[in-house]
Chain A
Amino acid sequence: MKVVYDVTTKRELRQTHRVATILHKKEVPFKFVTVDLATGQHKAPVYLEKQPFGRIPYIDDHGFILYESRAISLYIAEKYGEQGALLIPKDANDKALFEQAASIETANFDGFAGNAVTEKIFKPAFTGAKPDEVFFETQITELRKRLDVYKKILSKQKYLAGNEVNLADLFYLPYASLLPQMGSQVIEERPNVARWVDNLKSRPSWQAVKQGITSTA
């Protein structure tokens, strides 16, 4: 089954990688279409018809349009539940712990890591402006405090929701992989967190997308 997948190009942004990783993990063939951010294609009226917030990515699955990278990932994980890794637990309590882990990611990691990455990497790349180092450091400081809690959680179990990997762990990959590039050691300074990130980065699904995303159908 083909999944036509409209996504971003050139400086392939991280939300796109989140979805591509899951497509690979669930062995779902997809077509990849680039959206030219540099020319503002994502803000044009025809694009806004599909993704009204003017963000990337979105998918088109036989006419069904969906945006928000985590929602797309959940849709794929549920639709192809029987193939590839089981990424959403079936047991009610395990599922609740998965939801807890997924919520922790948006509440405690994504905002600070995303701001740090945007300030240090994307802002210079897209606008040529210099990073605001003070702002960058405040984000890293906040991230450090949260990662100290992750350190405790990951000292007792292998992954964020228990001892099996799931979608909530994979959601971290894009920004977690960029932090070292910014000169930040926040992950390396915490051995349990570093172990967990290295484990996620070693997966073939991440290896397949980290250099760039291409159609597999």
Chain B
Amino acid sequence: MVLTLYGYPLATCTQRVATVLHEKQVPFKFVNVNLATGEHKAPAYLEKQPFGQVPYIDDDGFVLYESRAISRYIAEKYDSQGALLIPKDAKDKALFEQAASIETANFDGFASKAVSEKIFKPAFTGAKPDEAFFETQITELGKKLDVYEKILSKQKYLAGNEVTLADLFHLPYASMLPQTGSKVIEERPNVARWVDDLKSRTSWQAVQQGITSTA
């Protein structure tokens, strides 16, 4: 039975998983979850994903949620095809884990709140963004990206000179930041170079066209 991805094409976490499925050339079926009607909060959905969020996968009966966990599962299961996204050497792997932790600790919180405030909140609720709140998130993000700027001045990617899952995890929100009007990435040449490199990958280009079944 082909792996099935349940999610929403414009949702960042769904895009995170779809990117990795494309990277690893894994055929998948895509099932749209109707967020507008609250399908993700219905009892049948909560049986699979108890936090009521997208996405989740069903791999021949094995159900998994949390986009980064799904991404890791795919990267490990299909380690021999596509790019090697999780290093095998013990120290390289530790540096990958360090980079993955950096993403959740220093990037995701601020970037996701900024993007939600400026883009998702008006789109989903019609409410105006709280500009002061948006600016505080961008300011904090900027301080962290100053450190990324130093790290990326010495190496091509966040864990070293090979791309890993940790880099790809940044893509969905990093690609939306310019839409908010923020230049927080462009202002930092090494960070901009790194984001442009990731955005040019065929896997991301495929997801930008929209997420559809490949099997």
For the complex, is A12 an interface residue (Cβ under 8 Å from B)? no
Could you say which of B64, B93, B105 contacts A97, with CB atoms under 8 Å apart? B64
- How many residues does chain A have at the interface if contact means C-beta atoms less than 8 Å apart? 32
Could you say which of A78, A97, A103, A153 contacts B50, with CB atoms under 8 Å apart? A153
Interface mask (B112-149 → A, CB under 8 Å = 1, otherwise 0): 00000000000000000000000000000000100100
Decide: A96 and B90 in contact? CB cutoff 8 A. Answer: no
For the complex, is A126 an interface residue (Cβ under 8 Å from B)? no
Distance in Å from the Cβ of A212 to the closest Cβ of chain B?
Answer: 25
Distance in Å from the Cβ of A194 to the closest Cβ of chain B?
Answer: 19
Decide: B51 and A95 in contact? CB cutoff 8 A. Answer: no
Chain B: number of interface residues, binned into ranges: 20 to 34
A92 to B75, CA, bound (A): 11
Knowing A96-B64, A103-B69 are in contact, say whether A71-B97 is a contact too (CB < 8 A): yes
Decide: B101 and A71 in contact? CB cutoff 8 A. Answer: yes
A75 to B64, CA, bound (A): 24
Number of A-B contacts (CB under 8 A): 76
Decide: A103 and B68 in contact? CB cutoff 8 A. Answer: yes
Query: Which of B73, B94, B104, B109 is packed against the most chain A CB atoms within 10 Å?
Result: B94
Q: Chain B residues near A69 (CB, 8 Å)?
A: 101
Decide: A52 and B109 in contact? CB cutoff 8 A. Answer: no
Chain A contact surface mostly = helix
Q: Chain B residues near A99 (CB, 8 Å)?
A: 66, 68-69, 72-73
Could you say which of B69, B94, B109 contacts A74, with CB atoms under 8 Å apart? B94
Decide: B50 and A66 in contact? CB cutoff 8 A. Answer: no
Residues A74-124 near B (CB distance < 8 A): 74-75, 78-79, 92-93, 95-97, 99-100, 102-104, 106-108, 111
Knowing A66-B95, A68-B98 are in contact, say whether A78-B72 is a contact too (CB < 8 A): no
14 additional A-B pairs beyond A52-B151, A53-B144, A74-B94, beta carbons within 8 Å, are A53-B106, A66-B98, A67-B98, A75-B97, A78-B90, A78-B93, A96-B62, A96-B70, A97-B64, A103-B67, A103-B68, A111-B109, A149-B51, A152-B50
Interface residues of A (CB under 8 A from B): 52-53, 64, 66-72, 74-75, 78-79, 92-93, 95-97, 99-100, 102-104, 106-108, 111, 146, 149, 152-153
27 contacts between A and B (CB under 8 A): A52-B151, A53-B106, A53-B147, A66-B98, A67-B98, A68-B98, A68-B101, A68-B102, A68-B105, A74-B94, A74-B97, A75-B90, A78-B93, A92-B73, A92-B76, A95-B73, A96-B62, A96-B70, A96-B73, A99-B68, A100-B64, A100-B66, A103-B66, A103-B67, A107-B66, A146-B51, A149-B50
Q: Which 5 A-B pairs have the closest CB atoms?
A: A68-B101, A103-B66, A71-B97, A99-B69, A96-B73
